[in-house]
Amino acid sequence: MKLKNYILEQIEVTRERDPALHSPIETVLYASFWAIIFYRLAHELYKKKHYFVSRLISQSAALLTGIEIHPGAKIGRRFFIDHGAGVVIGETTEIGDNVLLYQGVTLGGTGKEHGKRHPTIEDNVMISAGAKVLGSFRVGKNSKIGAGSVVLKEVPPNCTVVGVPGRVVRCIDSPGHPCDELSHGDLPDPVRDDIQLLKSADSKITNRLITLEDEVRLLKRKIRES
């Protein structure tokens, strides 16, 4: 795919994903736009084994945009980074089509191992602000990762993951595109749910203790009267 086509596609994706965009020309003001365009150029050079030049381009882009994408990463079509500050994408990361990332996302490794050490993100995945996906595993298509989550193991398709460490809190059989519903505040909160369960259990135990104390007092009274 020619660079011109990538630019036109990126303008189209930006218009679809960001309601703050008022005209196509504003796309060139987006740091994420330039980060992705520079990545496309650097990746082509990387595939031709021009490693130094490709890294020079990617590091220059990182300095300019605050978004670091290693030129060795493999990224599909219609990729979009919303805002983008602090995004890091490692060398062996693989990203499918129609993937959406928010600011502060890290697609990284867990050590200095060699070979495939970064995650594979399948099609139509949304990764919310500040989430960290660390290690060589797959995040299944149509999945969502909640803001601030730390994901350390594989995510099945069509699932929602939240928490530290991340855990699956919802799976659906027939999902829509996760990028079509950007209601981050509606994601499940397993910590809150656990607290509610503990509070409910504590209330039941407290009520039971009060009942037992009343029964003990009644029994003592009957003993004294007899």
Transcribe 7-27 into DSSP letters: HHHHHHHHHHH-TT--SGGGG
Sheet bearing 167-171, strands edge to edge: 80-82, 100-102, 126-127, 144-145, 159-162, 167-171
CATH number at residue 169: 2.160.10.10
Same-domain status, 49 and 81: yes
Q: Find how far residue 182's CA is from the centre of its chain.
A: 12
pLDDT recorded at residue 107: 95
Same-domain status, 169 and 193: no
Same-domain status, 28 and 140: yes
pLDDT recorded at residue 180: 53
Both tokens of residue 183?
């209601």
Please list the rounded mean pLDDT of every run of 10 residues in the chain (226 residues): 78 83 84 92 94 95 94 93 91 94 92 84 94 94 92 92 87 63 60 77 87 85 79
Same-domain status, 88 and 44: yes
Cβ burial 90-121 (10 Å sphere, 16+ → b, else e): bbbbbbbebbbbbbbbbbbbeeeeeeebbbbb
Same-domain status, 83 and 153: yes
- Report the predicted TM-score, pTM, of the whole model to 2 decimal places: 0.75
Q: Where are the alpha helices (DSSP H) in the chain?
A: 3-17, 31-47, 51-65, 190-225
Give residue 205's domain range: 189-226
pLDDT recorded at residue 174: 60
Q: Which of 86, 75, 159 is nearest to 118 (CA)?
A: 75
pLDDT recorded at residue 212: 87
How many folded domains does the chain comprise?
A: 2
Tokens 């980060």, residue located: 35
pLDDT recorded at residue 171: 83
Same-domain status, 108 and 198: no
Q: Which of 103, 98, 97 is nearest to 16 (CA)?
A: 98
pLDDT recorded at residue 7: 84
Same-domain status, 176 and 204: no
- Angle 183-127-21 (CA atoms, 0-180°, nearest 5)? 65
Instruction: Determine contact, residues 157/149, Cβ cutoff 8 Å.
Output: no
Same-domain status, 110 and 203: no
Could you tell me whether strands 167-171 and 159-162 are parallel, antiparallel, or unpaired per DSSP bridges? antiparallel
Same-domain status, 65 and 174: yes
Does an H or E element contain 137, and which?
none
